[in-house]
A and B are shown apart, each in its own frame.
Chain A
Amino acid sequence: MKSRTIWRWDPVRGEYQPGPARPLEGTGEISAIDAFRNNTILLLGCTGFLGKVVLAMILDRFPELKHLVVQVRRKKNISGEQRFYSDVLLSPPLRPAVEHIGERTAREKIQVVEGDLDQPLCGISAEHLKRLRGKVGVVVNLAGVVDFDPPVNESFEPNVYGTQHLIELTKLLDAKLVHVSTAYVAGKQNGRISEDTPIPGYFPRRGERENEHFSVPEELNWYEQFVKETRESRTTNPRPVRERLREGGMQRAAYWGWTNTYTYTKSIGEQLIARTPGLSYAIIRPAIVESSLRCPFPGWNEGFTTSAPLVLMGGEGVKGWPVRKDGPLEIIPVDIVAAGILIVTAAVLCGKHKHVYHLASADQNPIMLPRLVAFLGMNSRYKHKHKKSGSRLANIWKAYVETQVITVESLQARRARLHRGLEVIHAVLTLGKTLFGGERVGPFLKSLRDTRRQIRAQEITLDKFLPFMFHNSFIFVTRNIREAARMLTNEDLRRLKWDPESIDWADYWVNIHTKGIEKWIRPVFTVKKAGREF
């Protein structure tokens, strides 16, 4: 929808400013158009949420693009090539781009090679390697496991050993490397996080553990040992191996000061890259990647890994939110991240890159957590007012009682009260069952069981997000990407916009992000949940 106006919203000052924003003038030291015209890019992980948007953006905006090689993993008996053409090229985010340039052109420009990050040299066949050698200018890796707390091996294999394979591949191809990590490798810290902190030997609790040293080989030893011991003790220890592997990873991460296994393994991956002599690399660290702002269309979202669980929970009517009153949530729309990745790739190809790039928003245009809590409340109000199903009383409660910012202590107290209440109801119903028989009381007991399961699931989700909302408050400094954007040519700047400072958060959260999640995530999520129950 186009709204004609002479006014532009300035989200930082919170007022309208006259006239359009002055476009950024580039110095022209980096030319993305030339870089993409003259070089072949090898892209790993293009089947993911971020990967598809990067692919859509480069295909749509850079008709000059010479040649793109994508590595896709085979899934059971579906070949990588088939997967790419059916799952990626025909997916909703790529449709506008493919329609724009034509499917034939897209197929001509993109070469699919099968591979697997878990294999040496990323599982690319010797024949393909021979052909790609010396041709590929840059390897862009978007692959990785983004679950916060999987069993430690499921995180280590792709994020650490996968990175090892990636480095071998890059060296063999004699190419440069752009590796996507996460801003949260910073771990449990507060305040402004710099891009200049040295990578090798980094661990978040350096301040308190001055006598200890973090070394990658030792961590790999620990990992091998731990997995071996856990598996061997299968017979003696009654707890499931997966559970113990999960806990082990989280404990090891917490020992060094990381918030979860994911950030811990991602940091080891970064350190592997930084330790490699002679490798020309850039590490990109996006914050929480969210629905797209403009490209391929507003509100595109996929998967269940970003703030989607929180938005869905808010929609269910959760009222108390433990967040910092003065803290921002470091979110950034996926298309701005994609633009950032392309800018850095161009910078790497032109040899004008730095080693670390934060892609985040709060440095320039923070969205404070209490504002988001209020948005969640308004969304719940809207949904429950017009909801036809469910208990009427509950709907009125969820519609008219506003969300609150609370502390972790009061969250715990609330939970305890709630569980005590549910215990009492459970006791009464069990008594009723013995008095009146299971037929009459059974359904109530079942719905109570469902409610309790739902509440427990919500509690687990909320706890997972506490490090980002309550325990820590970061702002990631984004100096390097802004510097890189200033070095582009003016034509590049028209195609690649790094502009988190202009995001109108209210409009984005209410009209784009929340609606995107309702459209793209909720249906998938509901189907999954139903599948689990039967």
Chain B
Amino acid sequence: MIVLSAKDLAVGYEGKAVLQNVNFEVNVGDYFCIVGENGSGKTTLLRTIVGLIPPISGELNYGDGFTKTAVGYLPQQSDVQRDFPASVFEIVLSGCQNGLAHKFFYSKSQKEMALKNIERMGIGHLAKRCYRELSGGQQQRVLLARALCATKQVLILDEPVAGLDPEATEEMYRMIKQLNDEGLTIIMISHDIANVKKFANTIFDVNQIPETISVQGGVSTC
């Protein structure tokens, strides 16, 4: 079953394409990785996929699992967030915002889900701590827990290991792989090709358009 497919897609800003002839398919349970050098347009592609900017031309088709209420997104951190006065729990709970629908306040079950995802990321002891006091790796886990609150099927990650030390990087990859094994479809950007090859089952290199390389085997998907 296809979660997301692109056909002759061009992406960019204000009518100017930075990347064209994009063709790919992402299936349920895939670990799909978009790689490319800095400035190659992979972040632009991801921003188009999550709907922050409109595509310039071509098609981007979303499958059943890819609805706004079933997708989790881990954006790159902004300056505003680094010194944000909010507790870990408050931030993770905000991942449930797509489940608010027409209600004003979070339900008890949404709060429990937030706590469960905090535990799942191994940061239960930090739940009441202030976000700005955490290390880079811990902050990424908080944002990942938030994305998990928002998703039922698809997890979209924008350079999840950027700025992390080697140990935290490895831990992050291990966690993402585990989530993939549990059935989540992963769509990720990275320029760390060496690591990506170990985990992803499909790699889409934006520098090698129109051909795409498919790395098969190694990792089994659900």
Asked if chains A and B come from one complex, the reply is no
Residues of A within 8 A of B (CB): none
